[in-house]
Amino acid sequence: MPSLDPGRNLLAIGQLAERSGTSVSALRFYEQNGLIASERTAGNQRRYRRDVLRRIAFIRTSQRVGISLAEIRAALESLPDARTPTRADWVRISARWRRELDARIADLQHLRSELDGCIGCGCLSLATCGLRNPGDVLGETGRGAVRWDSASHPDADEE
Amino acid sequence: MPSLDPGRNLLAIGQLAERSGTSVSALRFYEQNGLIASERTAGNQRRYRRDVLRRIAFIRTSQRVGISLAEIRAALESLPDARTPTRADWVRISARWRRELDARIADLQHLRSELDGCIGCGCLSLATCGLRNPGDVLGETGRGAVRWDSASHPDADEE
DNA sequence: GTAGAACCTCAAGTACAGTCGAGGTCAAGG
DNA sequence: CCTTGACCTCGACTGTACTTGAGGTTCTAC
């Protein structure tokens, strides 16, 4: 068993699935969508180079960050085609996600503080609190946009 | 125009859409799925009570937290059916989301610190770093699970 | 009374991220 | 040789959260 030996140099799809914690169907799906690539044996079976493990790790982690497969593919396409990606390559594209992650965390923290404010004041009229209505495009009836700092919540939304 | 006056007591769907920042089709969709409710005019048009604005604000905010519509509906079903929800009701179910939000932020922060570790060490072999493979179910070949604290990354994934 | 905007229902379509099944092939052990 | 498990393709299906379109009605303003 010289060249296409799974287990030594190349991985069969089942092995890759097991080692990456991904399902076989997901791996085929990723390949269909250009996220990973494989060679084929004479019998048309997929064989994966071991650096595909790294790509998959990157894909799964990116998904946890909240990135779509389309964006992940775009990032992966910025990897060199000719040579196997270096550490510097991975650092570069991961650092980009790091910034995404920061932004997402900041967004949620912002949401949390706003939610706290709304829970605190008891109104939860998020639409009128500026949480869900930052520009505050409200009805011209004169009710609704009233703030809780004016006495005892004159918000007309019957409650 | 006494009883079903949109603009004074009840809102037509277009008005509700505008004031809540939601599309008309989304509102119909929410109603189909039991997230909001409406009365009908003699001519079969929807009329919404103003407290629906609050429900929609809750729905949109919950979605930002990352809650699915099914869960949101379940939460909304815990609101009293008979009476218009009080502040205490909203506080109760929002506080639940507050905990969800905390958990989500903590998860992302955890991910961030792990990602930092992997960027720091330059390996990004997340599969073997425990980031994507917490239980570390790895091949029995003896390669792959090696940690970077042993000299200069003997990780066999060709790079 | 009539034009046009806003509304109605119902069915179908979209995007995302896969999964499932049918029907067939490949590879390794006994 | 033959069985068995892993693999192949292709098409259809799942679930989530909506949007779009066709064909028809209602409301409001002039």
CB contact under 8 Å between A61 and B85, yes or no, is no
| From A33-42, B12-21, B84-93, B129-138, the region with the lowest mean pLDDT | B129-138
* Per-range mean pLDDT, top range of A31-40, A146-155, B91-100: A31-40
Give me the percent of chain B exceeding a pLDDT of 70.
68
**Could you read off the pLDDT of A110-127 as tens digits, one per residue?**
888 878 877 666 555 544
Q: What is the pLDDT of residue B17?
A: 97
How would you list the strands of the sheet with A39-40, edge to edge?
Answer: A10-11, A46-49, A39-40
**pLDDT above 90: residue A80:** no
B82-124 pLDDT, tens digit per residue, is 677 777 888 888 888 899 899 999 989 988 888 887 766 655 5
Closest-CA residue of B relative to A122 is B87
The CA angle B118-B120-B122, to the nearest 5 degrees, is 70
**In a 3-state reduction of DSSP, which class is residue B124?**
coil
Q: Which chain B residues in 18-57 sit with Cβ < 7 A of strand C?
A: 24, 28, 44-46
- In chain A, list all ranges with CATH 1.10.1660.10: 1-85
Measured CA to C1', what is the nucleotide nearest B43? D26
User: Around B23, how many Cα atoms within 13 Å sit in the side-chain half-sphere?
Assistant: 3
Share the mean pLDDT of chain A: 75
Q: Nearest residue on chain B to A95, judged by CA atoms?
A: B119
pTM of the model as a whole: 0.75
Q: Is B73 helix (H, G, I), strand (E, B) or coil?
A: helix
Residue B33 has pLDDT above 60, yes or no: yes
B29 touches strand D (CB under 7 A): yes
> What does the mean pLDDT of chain B come to?
75
CA distance B127 to chain A (A): 5
What mean pLDDT comes out for the span B64-75? Answer: 94
On whether the A1-85 domain is CATH 3.10.50.40, my answer is no
The separation, in Å, between residue A43 CA and nucleotide D2 C1' comes to 20
CA of B44, closest CA in chain A: separation in Å?
24
Mean pLDDT is highest, among A88-102, B2-16, B135-149, for A88-102
To the nearest whole Å, the CA of B28 is away from the closest chain A CA by 19
pLDDT at B22: 96
